[in-house]
Amino acid sequence: MTNEIRLLLVDDEKDFLEVTGKRLARRGFAVKIALTCGEAKAILDHEWPEVVVLDVMLPDLNGIQFLKEIKQKWPLLPVILLSGHASVQSGIKGIECGAYDYCLKPVDLEELIERVKIAYQESRAV
């Protein structure tokens, strides 16, 4: 099933993006990566990822603000937030703003994969 999931991974940590993107691709995901919200917007406007994994702290726009933009334009697109600041509060705020789920960084790859699969399956059931 994972080879059917198109995933957009948005994070300003280049090493994290490259390593996690490669690991997810090896697991069968079709992965696009973006270092900024601007890059992510360009991908979203031209492709339709089925799940977005979005860091909360980004250089060009706060992840929560970008989440709101995503949910306004694509309300059914599941977004999983990542917080590297061990902030449960940002995760809760994200859920209130429409995020499907959130994970604290450093995130375990197996946990992230499981959450992505569940988000994908539930979005297809709607």
The Cα–Cα gap between 95 and 97 comes to 5
Total count of domains within the chain: 1
pLDDT tens per residue, range 13-52: 999 999 999 999 999 999 999 999 999 999 999 988 999 9
Q: Residue 18: which CATH number?
A: 3.40.50.2300
Q: What is the pLDDT of residue 86?
A: 55
Domain of 117 in residue numbering reads as 2-125
Look at phi and psi of residue 31 and say left if phi exceeds 0, alpha if psi is from -120 to 50, else beta: beta
More confident residue, 4 or 23: 23
- CB of 8 closer than 8 Å to CB of 52: yes
CB atoms within 10 A of CB 30: 16
- Say how far apart CA 17 and CA 31 lie, in whole Å: 10
